[in-house]
Amino acid sequence: MKFLDQAKVHLQAGSGGDGCMSFRREKHVPRGGPDGGDGGRGGDVVAVCVESLNTLIDFRYQQHFRAKRGDHGMGKNRTGGRGADAVLEVPRGTQILDDEGALLADMTEPGRRLVLLKGGRGGRGNTHFRSSTNRAPREWEHGEPGAEMSVWLRLKLIADAGLVGLPNAGKSTFLASVTRARPDIADYPFTTTNPVLGVVQTDGDPFVIADIPGLIAGAHDGHGMGDRFLGHVERCAVLLHLVDATQEDVAQAWRTVRDEIAAYGHGLADKPELVALNKVDALTPEAVAEQRAALREACGRDVIGMSGVSGAGVRDALLAVRQHVEALWAHEAAQREPEPFHP
């Protein structure tokens, strides 16, 4: 399945049905009076958060969503039927924004329904216009037209931890070694072109880790689509920053990614970060010690030495990630209000 994380769609609510002009006609009732029914209300445009989806690819092939018009009113004071709703099924983590970029909704809870546009009101039939001076009104109303708007759908994946680093830092290899995800792996930069999710099975509950394509200088301005990729790790509890040990200047490699994260904003720079020197199996122990010391001096924290290929240090990295993830879970559980008791 192709991955698509941004789409623009045009929405139109259903127009209301027209009111009816009708008069009661029965045997022996020469002046039955008006009995025109009201038009039905137009259908709404509704967004629904669906757990089973993880891409916006469906919106590449359908960009227009129109709810049905309400049925017209009928004689004998019969009201027209309501128009059918137009339903947008969006993946968990989808943000809905208006044309100017203002956030309308953040669909993070499966099953959540949000009415984006309400259908037009149905027109009144001539029954409503009867009065003491007008016993046979020939007035009725057209239904209200349905409202229209365009919105942007922007998917930000929901994962517990995120992998960041320069291209070819070994993020995909690490993800493949700790999950059942099968991202493309090759010995050249930008092998990963779309975010990939994987489930890590360790002691306790499993957690989700996201691998985004490698970042380059200027990523926060959209270079290499980095601004969109960084959005997929906004919701993570912790970032695991992988640095290629075979690079000449590992400190500069770390700074490049950190500068882009800081420039991107949205609170991403404030998230906990674990730094791992990857591909240590390709160097001698002495060279690994030198690179770790240089990286430790640059980032000001302990550096995990690991290799996604050989598995060295991988468990230590996962345990460190898990500590932050569990801390977030505990915080979220404490924030939830207890459900009211219903006997």
Tens digits of residue pLDDT in 32-62:
889 999 999 999 999 999 988 878 888 988 9
Q: Are 216 and 126 found together in one domain?
A: no
Q: H or E segment at 275?
A: strand 273-278
Confidence band of 107 (pLDDT split at 50, 70, 90): very high
pLDDT surpassing 70 at residue 198: yes
What CATH code is carried by the domain that includes residue 314? Answer: 3.40.50.300
**What's the CA gap between 245 and 313, in Å, rounded?**
14
Asked which of 140, 155, 170 is the last residue of a domain, the reply is 155
Q: Is residue 200 part of a domain?
A: yes
Output the six-digit token pair for 218.
Answer: 């200027």
Q: How many domains does the chain have?
A: 2
Q: Are 187 and 331 found together in one domain?
A: yes
Average pLDDT over residues 63-79: 95
Enter the pTM of the model: 0.74
Minimum mean pLDDT among 21-30, 139-148, 214-223, 321-330: which range?
214-223
pLDDT surpassing 80 at residue 229: no
Tens digits of residue pLDDT in 13-24:
999 999 999 998
Q: Are 121 and 226 found together in one domain?
A: no
Asked which of 155, 190, 218 is the last residue of a domain, the reply is 155
Q: Is residue 172 part of a domain?
A: yes
Q: Are 54 and 115 found together in one domain?
A: yes
Q: Is residue 179 part of a domain?
A: yes
Q: Which domain holds residue 259?
A: 161-335
% residues pLDDT > 70 (the chain):
88
Tens digits of residue pLDDT in 210-220:
888 767 565 44
Q: Is residue 341 part of a domain?
A: no
68 or 201, greater pLDDT: 68
